[in-house]
Amino acid sequence: MMLPPLRRFASSPPSYGEGDPACGPTEPVPRRVLHGTLSAVMLAIGLLAGCSGRDMGNEWFPLRTGDEQLLLVSYQMDEPREPEEWIIRVRKPLVFQDQPVAVRHHSAGVSYYLKVDDLGVRRVATRTDIDDQPTAEEEPVWVLKAPYQVGSEWTSTTVPYLLQRKNEHPRDLKYSHRAQMTWRIESVDDTVTLAHGRQLKPCLRVVGLARLNLYTDPVNGFTDVPLIHREWFCKGEGLVKLEREERVTAGFMTGGMLSAELAR
């Protein structure tokens, strides 16, 4: 999932319960075979037609058209912040760069274009509700990377979600700072108990860690501030819980923790 407009929203090759292959090609179709862009687009459209009603995700990250998740979001901040609700919907698949992609839309107004194959789940583009066209990622951004086993790692670029300056503008550091986050699958058999008592298992627990070197106050000077991100992907459900922790010593900045959990 994805946090708007951040990295948002993962075992073996995709499984559909009946041994069916994944919809669409798992590798880019060579243009020399397609005889031009028009042929490529027509082929991709044909592949999409064949995917109608199918799951374009996998068992850890389902992408069934029409599926909807409600996530309840709470904050533990140095400065109070009201809780939120995020609604994530899977829209009908589209053709992007001659390939079928799943589209996952966040209620904050961002759509994520996702490609799923035997390598994992990755975001290839994003589009806000006011954009005419999607913006391709410079490099695909991994959401989950195979193999789905303890110890699998990957990296991606992240920005601070919660860190803010107290007395400078813009307050949010996400507009000015980036960091490299290393992700690792730490468990493949976690159990997640939701607030209303429902238990989900087995679940992947994925943890990301990055550090930002910031001038936090005159006493401590420059400090490595950890950005810690945890996500749980449960089989058949996808992303059901996430936590983002960005705590900083009292001084020039504020931080805290964000928690989001599946409500339905």
Beta strands (DSSP E) in the chain are 68-77, 84-96, 99-106, 110-117, 120-128, 135-145, 153-158, 164-165, 179-193, 199-217, 221-234, 238-246, 253-254, 256-262
pLDDT at residue 216, as a whole number: 75
Please give the residue range of the domain that contains residue 186.
31-262
Establish if 18 belongs to a structural domain.
no
115 and 99 Cβ atoms separated by less than 8 Å: yes
Q: What is the DSSP string of 213-236?
A: EEEEETTTEEEEEEEEEEEEEETT
Residue 108 is encoded by which pair of tokens?
């904050």
Establish if 258 belongs to a structural domain.
yes
Close Cβ partners of 21 (under 8 Å, ≥ 6 residues apart): none
CA distance 106 to 84: 13
Strands 135-145 and 120-128, sheet pairing: antiparallel
- Cα–Cα distances in Å, from 23 out to 17, 28, 47, 58, 105? 14, 13, 7, 11, 20
Q: CATH number for the domain including 57?
A: 2.40.360
Establish if 6 belongs to a structural domain.
no
Establish if 157 belongs to a structural domain.
yes
pLDDT at residue 31, as a whole number: 39
Q: What is the DSSP string of 146-190?
A: SS-STT-EEEEEE--SS-EESSSSS-BGGGT--EEEEEEEEEEEE
Instruction: Say if residue 165's pLDDT is above 60.
Output: yes
> pLDDT tens, 100-144?
999 999 999 999 999 999 999 999 999 999 999 999 999 999 999
> pLDDT tens, 196-208?
899 999 999 999 9
Instruction: Say if residue 24's pLDDT is above 90.
Output: no
Residue 9 is encoded by which pair of tokens?
């929203």
Higher pLDDT pick, 19 / 174: 174
Number of structural domains, the chain?
1
